[in-house]
Structure 1
Amino acid sequence: MTSGLLVCVTSYMFGSYDFRFFSKPSGYIGVYDPAEIHNRNQLKGYMQEAMVKLGYHLVFFFVYLYSTIIRLVDD
């Protein structure tokens, strides 16, 4: 049950990144264009996205660490 949930959330995060990467027009440098950081109207969205990704990585680091420790202790 929990491993299925972990796979679903992880695949959603990778899928959303892939969508952003492949939906950029051909004239753009990429997802992380250094010149776009100076647009104040987009900066709030970039900061919010960075905090969501940071939270995701922190939570799932400890979830996977806990799962690994429990699996090792049970053996």
Structure 2
Amino acid sequence: MGFTFAAFSYVFALILDAFLIFFAVFHVIAFDELKTDFKNPIDQCNTLNPLVLPEYIIHITFNVLFLFAGEWFTVLINIPLIAYHVYRYIHRPAGMSGPGLYDPTTIMNADQMSRATREGWFKLAYYLLSFFYYLYGMISSLIAV
């Protein structure tokens, strides 16, 4: 029984997607803490900003593996989120000197906070659905061998 590159890609994606689920849950909890004044905006940005680039890199990494494995449908369903990540990072607040998306001076605006909360919930749902799809893809690629 062999282990194909596609099966390896799905196993790797499952492991990394678990980290992305953790990041999304942390994102949702962090903005809930900010909304209830449990944390101040500076601390919040200092904890969220270092996680932005690792999330993006993890997501792009296993999609490159899917690209090399020829899993075109999987790449196709991930392209919209990758495009959103690129758009979001290009259009981050102008005064940001380091990596990240969140600026302490604007994060408390109601529209910014609601958008970030919706974004966190959307990513959580997306990564959870992706997890089960990758599980299905792993099992089907292992059975096909």
Give TM-score scaled by structure 1 length.
0.75
What does 1:27-66 align with in structure 2 at a 5 Å threshold? 27-29=95-97, 30-66=100-136
Percent sequence identity over matched residues? Answer: 32
Note the C-alpha offset of 1:57.
0.3
SS at match of 1:27: coil
Note the C-alpha offset of 1:20.
1.1
SS at match of 2:107: helix
Question: Paired residue for 2:74?
Answer: 6
Letter matched to residue 19 of structure 1: Y
Separation of aligned partners in 2, 1:11 and 1:27: 28
Over aligned residues, Cα RMSD in angstroms? 2.0
Note the C-alpha offset of 1:28.
2.3
Q: Which has the higher contact order (CA 8 A, sep 6+)?
A: 2
Deviations 1:22-55 (A, max 9, x none): 1235422431334433222221111111111111
Q: 5+ unaligned residues in a row in structure 2: which ranges?
A: 1-70
SS at match of 2:89: helix
Letter matched to residue 8 of structure 1: L
Structure 1 65/35 Cα, relative in aligned 2: closer, same or farther at 3 Å? farther
Separation of aligned partners in 2, 1:34 and 1:65: 38
